[in-house]
Amino acid sequence: MRVMGLDVGSKTVGVAISDPLGWTAQGVETIVINEAASEFGFNRVVELVKEYEVEKIVIGMPKNMNNTAGPRAEASQKYGRSLEKRLEIPIVFHDERLTTMQAERMLVEEANVSRKKRKEVIDKLAAVIILQNYLDLNIK
């Protein structure tokens, strides 16, 4: 069963896909969106769901450190509800606190990636981390 992971921001959506067994996450792409202009990239997400035969979507839930839901968490939930209207697969939310910082640290300290290149891949890597964390907690 393939699972898709999404890191939803106001300008981009990072996308990751699991292997067919649902054990590992791989980055696929970063979809450019414009939240202010109501351009959310839903059509591209739907295309990827069909292409990879995705059976579940995990969306990162950017909770505050005190476990409350702020504006970004509410935006992620709204994004998920909009996707649910377009797809007939389960959508779940997974705590993503600190995943972008973890991705940044990986790119800087471990891979020595330039600032410009980091900006291009950070959301995709954050989606990988969100999905891998979910898969690790839910492997049977």
- CB half-sphere exposure, 14, CA atoms < 13 A: 26
pTM: 0.84
- From the first residue on, what is the mean pLDDT of each consecutive set of 10 residues in the chain (140 residues)? 93 95 93 90 96 96 71 88 93 78 59 56 83 84
Q: What is the pLDDT of residue 15?
A: 96
Fold of 2-137: Nucleotidyltransferase; domain 5 (3.30.420)
Domain ranges, ordered by start, for the chain: 2-137
List of residues 6+ apart from 125 with CB closer than 8 A: 14, 27, 103, 106, 107
- Among all chains, which residue has been given the structure tokens 């990751």? 16
Question: How far is residue 50 CA from its own chain's centroid?
Answer: 17
What is the SS3 string spanning 39-54?
Answer: ECCHHHHHHHHHHHCE
**CA dist., res. 125 & res. 129, Å (int):** 6
